[in-house]
Amino acid sequence: MNRIKVAAGVILDNGKVLITRRAPKENFAGGWEFPGGKIEDDETPEDCLARELKEELNIDVSIDRFCAEVTYDYGEICINLIAYYCTITGGEIRMSVHDNFKWVEIADLLKFELLPADVLIAEKIMDDWLKK
């Protein structure tokens, strides 16, 4: 089984969180996710996340704090997803591997067809939000 480490950004703005939808020709097409990407061998998760968000969405972010880490077995691939809370510090969203993005209320996250690993992250975000 192929194992991949992925960093994801939980990008917050005024009580909403950014989610992106995988484009038709991408793996897991049509699934909503927290944006990010594969961690290269020479990268920290934080460095990967900053690079991927710049490449995929044309945004700069500050990585504020760790959110959660989950492992999910998709059958042919096992994803170790490491998520961080982030804030946009520059750029304007332009998508390259996604076909849509939405700013959604945290309470509404589970109303979207999130990819399974991202559902676990969404549950953690919702739990954190309720504790505030």
CATH of the domain at 25: 3.90.79.10
Q: Residue 98's closest CA among 49, 61, 57, 52?
A: 57
Number of structural domains in the chain: 1
Residue with tokens 């999910």: 72
CA atoms of 6 and 24, how far apart (whole Å): 20
User: What is the structure's pLDDT at 94?
Assistant: 95
Q: Is the model's pLDDT at 58 over the cut of 90?
A: yes
CA atoms of 19 and 32, how far apart (whole Å): 6
CA atoms of 66 and 119, how far apart (whole Å): 17
User: What is the structure's pLDDT at 132?
Assistant: 67
Q: Judging by beta carbons within 10 Å of its beta carbon (0-12, 13-18, 19+), is residue 97 exposed, middle or buried?
A: middle
* Residue 19 lies in domain: 2-130
For the chain, what is the mean pLDDT? Answer: 95
